[in-house]
Amino acid sequence: MGMKGNEPFGGSRAAAEATCPLKLAMEIAGGKWKSSIVCLLSDGTPRRFSEIRRVMPVVTNTMLSQSLKELESGHIIERIQYNEMPVRVEYRITQDGKELQEALDRLNRWSRAYMEKHPECGTPLCGECSFGKKEEKGTAK
């Protein structure tokens, strides 16, 4: 999955689903690792693949690479390649990505409140992303 050219996700299924804004949002932001990547890059600091990988040690290189490509094709992050030897590549959040981060922050707050009302769902702060850390520091919106 991913965006190809100007056509979101490059397929007829995607074209049909793209008419639903929520389905499109879930296609762009959904997946196990994308929200963590967006959260990590949300401070505006460009990061190299290896830096992102160190913060997310459980993700495989293949899954991280695929998630980065999908976020890039969705205009959520940008890939910056420097013409040096060896080649250096960094990833940085875009304006669309910052807006997505704001929506993810709101979704995180909703989910935490839901978990408090429904303890059978588990305990907040799974430790797999930075959302909880941001809230603990008082920087969540």
Enumerate the domain spans of the chain: 1-30, 32-136
Strands (DSSP E) contained in 65-108 are: 77-82, 88-93
pLDDT per position as a tens digit, 1-16: 444 444 445 455 655 5
Average of per-residue pLDDT across 95-116: 92
Q: How far is CA 10 from CA 14, 63, 69, 95, in A?
A: 7, 20, 14, 23
> Which amino acid, residue 85?
M
pLDDT for 135: 45
Per the structure block, which two tokens stand in for 14?
């995607």
pTM of the model: 0.75
pLDDT one-digit tens code per residue, 24-48: 888 899 989 999 999 999 999 999 9
Please give the residue that has the higher pLDDT: either 125 or 120.
120
* CATH fold for domain 32-136: Arc Repressor Mutant, subunit A (1.10.10)
Is the pLDDT reported for residue 71 higher than 90? Answer: yes
| Residues 53 and 61 sit within 8 Å (Cβ to Cβ) | yes
